[in-house]
Amino acid sequence: MQDTMLATENLKVSLMAETLIGSEIIKIAAEVNEKIKKGEKIYNFTIGDFDPKIFPIPQELENEIVAAYHDKQTNYPAAPGIIELRKAVSTFLNKYEGLDYNSDEILISAGARPLIYATYITLLDAGDTVLFPVPSWNNNHYCHMSGAKPVLVETSPENFFMPSADELEPYIKDASLIALCSPLNPSGTVFTRSQLESICDLVLEENKRREGNRKPLYIMYDQIYWMLTFGETRHYNPVSLRPAMKDYTIFIDGISKSLAATGVRVGWAFGPAHVIEKMKAILSHIGAWAPKAEQVATAKYLGMETELNGYMSNIRSEISQRLEHFYKGFRKLREAGFKVDVIAPQAAIYLTVKLDLCGSVTQNGKQLSTQADVTRYLLDEAGLALVPFYAFGSSEDSSWYRLSVGTCNHSEADNVMNALRAALLKLTSQ
């Protein structure tokens, strides 16, 4: 925990609350919103969300939500989630991923975040080690709130920012939890089969060594974007690859991203029954339930196979087109000699781009000395708002960024690339 030397007698709140740091993404969003309020044209590609006017939720899901409210489904839902939804999720997982989890091994909550928090609180004691690769989303904050010790492993663009077993192996013996995400927020990249198999083998070997002596080593596997994969990209999960991992894997999933339903707040976790039972108890006290009407509607929609498949085909196509457009635009800039790079899109709503501009000098003679300077320059000169990887735990000198297309119109892409090109042309090398 940060700043443990603070005099606790002078604190007006808990030490955890006092030392909890704010989100870098929220800071950037505040700057963006301030510019928008002033009437500036900003291409805001920071948010991991969807513009509902561009990417609406499925019409059938919306209809079922409205119908559930008309049916007065507004009382408390069952604490672990209504049985109809847990059964629907069980069927859905078996049909689309070949995973066999019964309704008692599934927990429903108001999106993924309470489930991630419950996983941390359930599995970790204060001082336990959580191992996670960076860039990653929010694991540092969940460690702080649970009193866990974070161990960060910085990944490389050569591996598409996905961790390898070799990178994790030195820290395995001390870890209680490995937090993994695929498709990865922020990079939009995925594990290859061999990458994930090697990590699973490490975990299984470590748990064999621990047998009977200490808590197992678990994996929290956040796959909230798994249905949004493009082209030849394939999603893999630990249990399908290594069935023995079923005893050690807690999955985080839901409709937030695949159905563009971030505000509908229906997520689910599934995993070993004894872990899920404890997570149910914790969340029952927190009351982080998904609204009952939305649960009723989601249960019905997951059973609409034709409509679901049609929606997924369309949203994957729309997202892929946007990502490909930006990918080609950045490649053209690179081929023209600009100091940029890009990784081909694989999944999610994110494109990973590199803007290696530190040391450049602006037209008014100011040197871009830090990556924060570069981020500010892009916002001021191109009206382009991106999230730097240092906001996801990467080193502060990382020149990689997340570009999110969930709020992007087709017509904007060319304008964005023209604005960026004009801003790059204004820079000179030092």
Domain with CATH 3.90.1150.10 in the chain: 8-54+309-425
Q: pLDDT at position 183, please?
A: 98
Stated as kind and residue range, the H or E segment containing 386 is: none
Instruction: Identify whether the C-beta of residue 134 lies closer than 8 Å to the C-beta of residue 10.
Output: no
Q: With a cut of 50, list the residues of the chain below it in pLDDT.
A: 1-4
The pLDDT value recorded for residue 1 is 45
What is the model's pLDDT at position 31? Answer: 82
CA distance 426 to 422: 7
Name the residue with tokens 């505000």: 263
Element (H, E) at 354: strand 350-355
Residue 47, pLDDT score: 87
Position 8 scores a pLDDT of 59
**Cα–Cα distance for residue pair 178/171, rounded to 1 Å:** 10
Record the tokens describing residue 167, joined without a space: 């990178």
Q: What pLDDT, on a 0 to 100 scale, did the predictor assign at position 6?
A: 56
| DSSP designation for 144 | H
Give which of 212, 218, 304, 227 is closest to 261, Cα–Cα.
227
Number of neighbouring beta carbons within 10 Å of residue 212: 4
Spatial separation of the C-alpha atoms in residues 264 and 72, rounded to whole Å:
17
Q: Which of 364, 17, 341, 31 is nearest to 156 (CA)?
A: 341
CATH architecture of 59-304: 3-Layer(aba) Sandwich (3.40)
Give how far the C-alpha of residue 117 lies from the chain's centroid of Cα atoms, to the nearest Å. 14
Contact 29, 386 (CB under 8 A): no
Is the domain spanning 8-54+309-425 CATH 3.30.365.10? The answer is no
Which residue has tokens 């108001």? 110
Pairing status of strand 43-44 against strand 384-385: parallel
List of residues 6+ apart from 281 with CB closer than 8 A? none
| DSSP β-bridge partners for residue 355 | 340
pLDDT of residue 2: 47
Token pair of 218 as six digits: 């678990």
Work out whether the CA dihedral 258, 259, 265, 271 comes out positive or negative. negative
Euclidean distance between the first and the last CA atom of the chain, given in angstroms as a whole number: 40
* Nearest partner of 175 among 147, 215, 122, 118, judged by Cα: 215
CATH 3.40.640.10 region(s) of the chain? 59-304
User: Vertex 161, ends 155 and 165: CA angle to 5°?
Assistant: 60
Give the type of residue at 110.
A
CB 94 within 8 A of CB 258: no
Phi/psi for 140 (5° steps) reads -60, -40
Contact 99, 237 (CB under 8 A): yes
Among 275, 218, 247, CA closest to 80: 275
Give the C-alpha separation, 391 to 104, whole Å: 37
| CA–CA distance, 305 with 197 (Å, rounded to integer) | 30
Residue from 407, 405, 340, 402 nearest 187 by CA: 402
Q: Residue 299: its pLDDT value, please?
A: 98
Tokens 């030397």 -> residue: 5
Instruction: Give the Cα separation of 258 and 52 in Å (integer).
Output: 13
